[in-house]
Structure 1
Amino acid sequence: MRPALPACLAVLILLGGEASARPHSLGIAALPGESTIAYDMNAAGQVAAVLEDGDGNTRGVLFEKGKITDLGARGGKHSDARGINERGQIIGSVRNKDGTWNAFLFHRDSGMRVIGTLGGPSSYGMALNQDGVAVGFADIPGGDWHAFIDDGAGQLRDLGTLGGNISYASAVNKHRHVAGTAANEQGLRHAFLYTPENGMVDLGTLGGRQSSAMGINDAGVVVGASETADRRWRAFVHDGKRMVDLGALIGNYNSFATDINNAGHVVGTVVVGTERMSFVWRDNKMTLHRGGQGLHLTNAINDRELVIGATYDRSMTAATMASNAAPVVTRGGSELLTLIGAVLAMAGLGVLYRLRRRGIEIGSRD
């Protein structure tokens, strides 16, 4: 049974006055028992996706015009596909027979180009830009992993850390500015922005201990999630000057921003109990979709305003959804708080009334 919608989120949905639009399945023909997840889609409709069987084995694929191209597994049982650019290049990772991993770039015409490591056994590809510049993380000889950038010259560049042992890159823009997460001297992980001019810069938190960056657009705006002082996780937008609490527009629930496009539109996930809701922040409006009505996974938003990810009904199904579907406007500030308070009060009175009708006394026990 679906859990009851918390009152403040009910307010957000009622304010819009519209029903949520259903996502559109991409129609990837999976084998029996396989789940499909879309991670990215370019303007030509080419999709970087992952198919997973019932035993947890994964294979990265290129999906276009109804056809699946397997990216290859190099003798192992696992591969993935994390991003695709307008050239049709895919960034991903593949597991080797010996259990190590290699980041790779794939193109339909040239096949797989394996990316090296930073001296350790493995590397993992996470994102690429329109020029094919790839980022991710790789093992170093000491056993930790560091964020890297690969410009195709054959040598990975170690982006370093914020003083701790580890870092990993999640996104890169056309200027080769990289967003990701790194440990500081205290061992706490913070979102970072790396630029060739300034190196790795700590983006801070929303008052909590940790944060993580997941996306960046060509204007250098970074999105991700940060812990707050009360140990909640909130989606954030960092405009280059400060971290803005985007999750505050949703409520005091865990929210995570996963991507941003060049129009500044942000997508992500809200977790309310056992329910996952998807959100889109665009044109100063917050759109929320309940579980089963929106995407279960929101992995990306492209410049065609399509949100890319997967729905869930017993298994994952790769799907997209228009970013402007069923707008649900948050009105912010005191007006929203007043509405939330009113709904909470009404809900509380309703509960008391039903309990009284059932003859249940409300009060303390001896």
Structure 2
Amino acid sequence: MKYTALALALLTMTLEAGAAPDREAEPGFGERPGESSVAVDANRVGQVAGVIEDADGRRRAVMYAQGRVTELGTLGGSDSYTTAINASGVVTGSAQNAEGRWRAFIYTPGQGMRGLDTLGGNSSHGLAINQLGQVAGHADVANGDFHAMVFDGAQMRDLGTLGGKTSYATSINNSGQVVGTAQNAQGYRRAFLYQPGEGIVELPSLGGRVSSAAAINDAGVIAGTAETADRRMHAFVYDGKTMIDLGAKIGHGTNTYATGINAAGHVVGSVTAQGFAPLTFVYREGKISVHPREAGLYLTNKINDSGLVVGAKFSGQRLQAFGVDEVAPVKETSPWDWAVRAVLLAAAGFMLVKMQRRASASMFPSGSVRVVSHNFVR
């Protein structure tokens, strides 16, 4: 049986506890009954950063490495959580200090947790880390707003906004390029790219009002989510020249959200349809696929360079950390999946009818038929 790195971690914990393993590894980080867990990121060797939350909502940052789960502690307060891990197993996230203030942190195995400063306000949050140990995220400024920031190992840099009040960074590559989301002068949040020494620039849109960038790889390829002209949310991938609408490849009537990208440019995220639980999607080699419910994740976070997709499954009344392979296994389709496919097929049929109507309308002489453009595909 082939297990992903995270599933192997969970299987190892089962064996160490003396229990006979099931055919499939149990989800979770070995948390206590009533607690939930989420895997937020994984590196190429299968080290995983995550979080455990108890019944009272208290969060504890954790890391899986070399067959064991380690709780990372706090900065003197009660709570902490992780958000990213680099190839060397260095983790970032945020933890409360003794005053109850949130501070971005860097956790290095063998050295422990180091708290970072703010941009003049009360708190900071680390959301991404590269191989150089540079951290991107956001921090409060003196007036109480928050701005995207980069900590380069010595100082914290304010990346500014797109003319509005707030911004936050979500990913940083090994060249120091940063992506995230910033308010513009009209108050809309838009995806941005920061180039060292050049400042931030707004990324192209999909015709809607808002957008956000979730991840960037070392080739500078960006994954994110943007509103379309018809007010849907669609995942996208942008290589600096071409904007690819991934949501349009799945179908009308769904929303898609990109959450991660790896070195090969494979993008992961979630597909949602009204009345259905989220499904995991993977975009690779120009094609997009949706994992069946049993083979995917309820919460999809990141993909590592080995093709491990991490997040959480929904078990009973709680989330439990888990990882799946980017290539979904061929399994018998459940009624739930048939229902989702029916929605997508109906949407495809709807689009086909509209295209046929448009083609028919174009056959009539100008002025003989009034065509209302907003009834047709743009």
TM-score norm. by structure 1 comes to 0.81
Does structure 1 retain, via aligned residues, the 8 Å contact 2:49–2:85?
yes
Q: 1:25 to 1:246 in 2, by over 3 A?
A: farther
Tell me, yes or no, if structure 1 residue 111 matches structure 2 residue 112: yes
- Aligned counterpart, 2:349: 341
Alignment of 1:298-337 (within 5 A): 298-314=300-316, 315-326=318-329
| 1:38-96 deviations in Å (ceiling 9; x for gaps) | 01112232110100111111100111233221111233222101111111100010023
AA of the residue aligned to 1:276: P
State the SS of the aligned residue for 1:248. helix
- Aligned counterpart, 1:50: 51
Distance 2:164 2:70 in 1: 40
Tell me, yes or no, if structure 1 residue 60 matches structure 2 residue 68: no
Tell me, yes or no, if structure 1 residue 223 matches structure 2 residue 226: no
Q: 1:236 to 1:109 in 2, by over 3 A?
A: same
Q: 1:57 to 1:27 in 2, by over 3 A?
A: closer
Query: Structure 2: which 5+ runs fail to align?
Result: 1-22, 332-343, 354-378
Does structure 1 retain, via aligned residues, the 8 Å contact 2:74–2:113?
no
Shift of 1:186: 0.5
- Aligned counterpart, 2:173: 173
Distance 1:218 1:32 in 2: 40
- Aligned counterpart, 1:31: 32
Does structure 2 retain, via aligned residues, the 8 Å contact 1:23–1:319?
no
Point out 4+ residue stretches in structure 1 off by more than 3 angstroms.
Answer: 22-27, 290-293, 336-340, 342-345
Shift of 1:97: 3.9
AA of the residue aligned to 2:183: A
- Aligned counterpart, 1:206: 206
Does structure 2 retain, via aligned residues, the 8 Å contact 1:27–1:66?
no
Alignment of 1:112-151 (within 5 A): 112-151=113-152
AA of the residue aligned to 2:201: V
Stretch of structure 1 that moved more, 293-302 or 172-181: 293-302
Shift of 1:338: 10
Distance 1:343 1:247 in 2: 14
- Aligned counterpart, 2:103: 102
State the SS of the aligned residue for 2:348. helix
State the SS of the aligned residue for 1:263. coil
Distance 1:167 1:244 in 2: 24
Shift of 1:108: 1.7
Alignment of 1:7-26 (within 5 A): 25=26
Distance 1:26 1:108 in 2: 24
Distance 1:273 1:42 in 2: 33
Does structure 1 retain, via aligned residues, the 8 Å contact 2:295–2:329?
no
Distance 2:350 2:157 in 1: 55
Compute the RMSD of aligned alpha carbons.
Answer: 2.3
Does structure 2 retain, via aligned residues, the 8 Å contact 1:24–1:321?
no
Distance 1:104 1:308 in 2: 22
- Aligned counterpart, 2:247: 247
Does structure 1 retain, via aligned residues, the 8 Å contact 2:75–2:113?
no
Distance 2:350 2:200 in 1: 46
Shift of 1:130: 1.1
Does structure 2 retain, via aligned residues, the 8 Å contact 1:163–1:185?
yes
| 1:279-307 deviations in Å (ceiling 9; x for gaps) | 00011221112434311111100101111
State the SS of the aligned residue for 1:256. strand
Distance 1:303 1:47 in 2: 13
Shift of 1:327: 7.7
Higher relative contact order (CA 8 A, sep 6+): 1
- Aligned counterpart, 1:193: 193
Distance 2:330 2:251 in 1: 17
State the SS of the aligned residue for 2:120. coil
Q: 1:242 to 1:304 in 2, by over 3 A?
A: same
Distance 1:197 1:319 in 2: 39
Does structure 2 retain, via aligned residues, the 8 Å contact 1:287–1:327?
no
State the SS of the aligned residue for 1:340. helix
Equivalent pairs: percent with the same residue? 50
State the SS of the aligned residue for 2:160. coil
